[in-house]
Amino acid sequence: MKTMMKIWTAGALCGALMLGGTAAMAQAVVGQPAPAIAATDASGKTVSLADYKGKYVVLEWTNPECPFVQKHYNGGNMPATQKKAIADGAVWLTVQTMDTDGDDAEAYADLQSWQKTKNAIPTATIIDATGAIARAYGARTTPHMYIVDPAGQLIYAGAIDSKPSANPDDIQGATNYVSQALAEAKAGKPISRATTQAYGCSVKYPDA
């Protein structure tokens, strides 16, 4: 799996937890139109955010090597959240921002193989090899979650849940912000936490 993210060193892990907006980059704004997405997914199909107008769209930044991502997949939380969202009519786009060294096919194969072992069922899987999508959204961590409403407005940005740790035991009792926001939006209620602090490993942007 040579195209997967570089192996985490102890030093990298010490600096992996990211809880603030310290990165100097533009960020998509909740309450404003979501940045456009035009990409090719793992099946070779063109994915455009505009194609999903009329549906809720969840964007999930991932990295299988990240212990915070592993928490939510090994513990079953992310696949369960995907399944519930999709069953309720939402679209789920999983994005991995990484430098593929030009070998997108192998990167996709590795990512999809991992997803299969975790029972993940995203609507589409995207490798963001240039970092353009992550830059447009201001994605900083894995996971970093966003929700776009049927009108194309960004209605949620932040963490998957309320317990910023890499321990799967902390899933129990945590507030799942994504499920909560989707349920409130679909019920026509104001979203109680439209913006939260994302936590996880820092997104590895390809060299500009």
Question: pLDDT tens across 176-195, in order?
Answer: 999 999 999 999 999 999 99
Q: Which of 17, 41, 21 is nearest to 29 (CA)?
A: 21
Q: For the residues 61-72, what does the mean pLDDT come to?
A: 98
- Residue 3 in any domain: the answer is no
- Residue 21 in any domain: the answer is no
Residue 51 has pLDDT above 60, yes or no: yes
- Residue 11 in any domain: the answer is no
Range of the domain at 64: 28-136+152-202
The whole-model pTM stands at 0.89
pLDDT score of 18:
52
CATH code for position 121: 3.40.30.10
- Residue 40 in any domain: the answer is yes
Of residues 17 and 201, the one with the higher pLDDT is 201
CA 145, 44, 117, 97 torsion-angle sign:
negative
CA distance 114 to 30: 31
- Residue 190 in any domain: the answer is yes
Confidence of residue 149 (pLDDT cuts 50, 70, 90): very high
